[in-house]
């Protein structure tokens, strides 16, 4: 039976998809500012951040209204709790895209440190994670969600490689220290974007299966 | 005297089926109900939840062509055994119905009506104490203590329902069956009944049939979901309303059917 509540949930889903799509775009654009040294795109990222912030408030208000008016239980309750948490994660990862963009703008004042290889790879992986985690959540797909969790290690490994390589670079070329440090922070921001996508994927698993997989909770004995 | 409890299961249905002629109303229900707890029974109309409730104090006995299979035991004793006395059963198992039906007597007389029927004539002081204790336990005492001798029919619907609950308590029933006890009540009266039930569960085994799934979620320790005469799922209330095992339970509690 299609309920009025389902129509409202569809509205919520549309808002989250829009938010997530904007956040993905922001990550891509932040990388364009960084890699292509394209200063103009930084303004686009800032504009999109405002849209994501507005959507965050709209999603929270809608969740609050749906919880208050429908007092959902079971699958509906898990979906709405998941929406509240996912909403926060998307907003945070949009913030991280802004952080990357700000560092990219600072780096425009310095000559390129070295050719970009690993950082764009990290961005590609995290963008895929963001997209898939959100799809796993809205489409209640636990298999897709678990594939996102598996990818987080790939991002973490690359972050370590970037940090080590840049530390080595600083030793040989101390004059690049400021720029190289900014790049290390960019890698850290991308790693955190991966963490937020992981959170969203964990939410998705909870929504679909009712299992809490955070912090290896699956391995802990239950009462 | 009730025999000393040897198990924490008060009521135990084992492969219990109920038939009205050839029609099957309950199909092989296996449902243990814990002593001193509240079991909520939910399910759409026609699911068998009221039939199951009425089976616990054998109210279906007089329905023509009604017969049962399997076992329904209280304190380990099969209540459908030919030698089991249904009258004695109903003293131990009280029932509150959807529509409160006070007797056309005073509040006081409503409460003592049952105890007066049984055996020796109780002393006035014993009755006074019984009335106060029963009305207190039903969360009604403070509202009626100054007018115990006015008609029970002059109470509000919510008060009448608590009077019916007090009547059951005055019989010192061990098991309280409630069939939609709040269906006609406003939220405040409903809250008072629920508060009384929660307190009573310390000393009684309560089975609550309700169409209001949120009520089961609020007060029941465990919840059972019935559908078309079958028990689909039974477990801790928290589980049924957060992570139900069966998709039919999920669909029912989220209002997709029923």
Per CB-CB distance under 8 Å, the chain A contacts of B217 are: 73
Work out the average pLDDT over A169-193: 97
In order of A22, A94, B116, B175, the CA distances from A50 in angstroms are 10, 10, 76, 61
Q: What is the mean pLDDT of chain B?
A: 93
Q: How confident is the model at residue B5 (pLDDT cuts 50, 70, 90)?
A: low
- CB A86 within 8 Å of CB A41: no
Q: How confident is the model at residue B215 (pLDDT cuts 50, 70, 90)?
A: very high
Q: How confident is the model at residue B119 (pLDDT cuts 50, 70, 90)?
A: low
Work out the average pLDDT over B98-120: 90
Most A-contacting residue of B217, B254, B256 (CB-CB within 10 A), to test interface: B254
- Judged by CB atoms closer than 8 Å, whether chains meet at A73 and B243 is answered as no
Chain centroid to CA A156: how far?
14
Work out the average pLDDT over A85-108: 97
Chain centroid to CA B164: how far?
12
Per CB-CB distance under 8 Å, the chain A contacts of B243 are: 74, 78, 210
Taking alpha carbons only, the member of B125, B124, B138 closest to residue B169 is B138
How much of chain A exceeds pLDDT 90, in percent? 88
Cα separation, B213 vs B210, whole angstroms? 7
Per CB-CB distance under 8 Å, the chain B contacts of A71 are: 214
For residue B252, the distance in angstroms to the closest alpha carbon of chain A comes to 10
pLDDT the model gives residue B256 = 84
CB contact, 8 Å: B150 with chain A?
no
Residue in B249, B254, B257 closest to A72 by CB: B254
Residue B230 CB-density burial (10 A; 0-12 exposed, 13-18 middle, 19+ buried): middle
Chain centroid to CA B148: how far?
25
DSSP E strands in B106-229: the ranges are 175-179, 205-209, 222-227
- What tokens does B134 get? 């029963």
Cα separation, B31 vs A44, whole angstroms? 62
- For the segment(s) A4-212, the CATH number from 2.60.40.10, 3.90.550.10, 1.10.10.10, 1.20.58.220 is 1.20.58.220
pLDDT the model gives residue A52 = 98
Q: Answer left, alpha or beta for residue B223, where phi above 0 means left and psi between -120 and 50 means alpha.
A: beta
Residue in A3, A71, A210 closest to B242 by CB: A210
Per-residue pLDDT tens for B51-85?
999 999 999 988 889 999 999 999 999 999 999 99
- For the segment(s) B36-57+86-253, the CATH number from 3.30.750.24, 3.60.15.10, 3.40.50.300, 3.40.50.720 is 3.40.50.300
Domains of chain B, by residue range, sit at 36-57+86-253
pLDDT the model gives residue B1 = 47
Q: Within a 10 A sphere around the Cβ of A18, how many other Cβ atoms?
A: 16
- Judged by CB atoms closer than 8 Å, whether chains meet at B241 and A74 is answered as yes
Work out the average pLDDT over A70-93: 95
Per CB-CB distance under 8 Å, the chain A contacts of B249 are: 74
Cα separation, A177 vs A39, whole angstroms? 22
Work out the average pLDDT over B209-215: 95
Per-residue pLDDT tens for A158-171?
999 999 999 999 99
pLDDT the model gives residue A130 = 96
Per CB-CB distance under 8 Å, the chain B contacts of A3 are: 255-256
Q: What is the mean pLDDT of chain A?
A: 94
pLDDT the model gives residue B118 = 74
Tell me if residue A48 falls in helix, strand or coil: helix
- CB A147 within 8 Å of CB A223: no
Per-residue pLDDT tens for B156-181?
999 999 999 999 999 999 999 999 99
How much of chain B exceeds pLDDT 90, in percent? 88
Q: How confident is the model at residue A223 (pLDDT cuts 50, 70, 90)?
A: very low
Work out the average pLDDT over B226-233: 98
Most B-contacting residue of A3, A9, A66, A74 (CB-CB within 10 A), to test interface: A74
Q: How confident is the model at residue A216 (pLDDT cuts 50, 70, 90)?
A: confident
- What tokens does B245 get? 């095992």
Work out the average pLDDT over A7-13: 93
Confidence check: pLDDT of A11 > 50: yes
The two beta strands, B205-209 and B38-42, are parallel
Per-residue pLDDT tens for B10-21?
999 999 999 999
pLDDT the model gives residue B67 = 94
Interface of B with A in 207-226 (CB under 8 A): 213-214, 217
Confidence check: pLDDT of B30 > 80: yes
Work out the average pLDDT over B218-246: 96
């Amino acid at each position: 039976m299609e309920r009025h509540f389902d129509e409202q949930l569809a509205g919520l889903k549309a808002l989250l998809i829009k938010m997530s799509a904007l956040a993905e775009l922001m990550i891509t654009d932040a990388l364009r500012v960084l890699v292509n040294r394209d200063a103009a795109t930084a303004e686009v990222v800032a504009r999109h951040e405002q849209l994501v912030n507005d959507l965050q408030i709209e999603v929270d208000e809608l969740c609050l209204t749906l919880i208050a008016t429908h007092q959902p239980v079971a699958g509906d309750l898990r979906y709405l709790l998941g929406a509240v948490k996912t909403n926060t994660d998307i907003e945070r990862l949009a913030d991280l895209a802004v952080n990357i963009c700000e560092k990219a703008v600072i780096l425009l004042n310095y000559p390129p440190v070295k050719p970009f290889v690993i950082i764009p790879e990290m961005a590609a992986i995290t963008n895929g994670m963001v997209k898939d985690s959100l799809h796993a959540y809205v489409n209640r797909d636990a298999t897709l969600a678990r594939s996102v969790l598996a990818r987080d290690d790939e991002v973490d490994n690359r972050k370590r490689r970037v940090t080590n390589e840049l530390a080595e670079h600083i030793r040989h070329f101390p004059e690049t220290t400021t720029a190289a440090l900014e790049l290390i922070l960019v890698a850290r921001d991308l790693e955190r974007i991966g963490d937020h996508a992981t959170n969203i994927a964990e939410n998705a698993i909870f929504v679909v299966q009712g299992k809490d997989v955070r912090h290896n909770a699956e391995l802990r004995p239950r009462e | 005297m009730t025999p000393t409890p040897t198990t924490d299961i008060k009521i135990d249905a084992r492969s219990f089926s109920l038939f009205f002629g050839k029609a099957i109303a309950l199909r092989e229900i296996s449902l243990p109900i814990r002593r001193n707890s509240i079991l909520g029974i939910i399910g759409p109309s026609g699911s068998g939840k009221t039939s199951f409730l009425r089976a616990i104090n054998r109210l279906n006995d007089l329905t023509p062509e009604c017969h049962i299979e399997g076992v329904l035991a209280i304190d380990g004793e099969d209540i459908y055994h030919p030698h089991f006395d249904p009258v004695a059963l109903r003293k131990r198992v009280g029932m509150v119905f959807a529509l409160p039906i006070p007797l056309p007597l005073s509040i006081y007389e409503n409460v003592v009506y049952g105890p007066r029927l049984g055996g020796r004539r109780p002393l006035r002081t014993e009755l006074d104490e019984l009335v106060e204790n029963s009305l207190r336990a039903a969360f009604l005492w403070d509202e009626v203590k100054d007018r115990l001798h006015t008609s029970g029919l002059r109470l509000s619907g919510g008060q009448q329902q608590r009077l019916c609950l007090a009547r059951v308590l005055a019989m010192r029933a061990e098991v309280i069956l409630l069939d939609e006890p709040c269906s006609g009540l406003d939220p405040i009266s409903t809250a008072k009944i629920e508060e009384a039930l929660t307190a009573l569960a310390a000393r009684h085994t309560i089975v609550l049939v309700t169409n209001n799934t949120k009520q089961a979620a609020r007060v029941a320790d465990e919840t059972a979901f019935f559908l078309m005469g079958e028990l689909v799922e039974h477990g801790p209330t928290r589980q049924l309303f957060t992570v139900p095992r069966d998709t039919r339970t999920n669909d029912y509690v989220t209002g997709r059917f029923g």
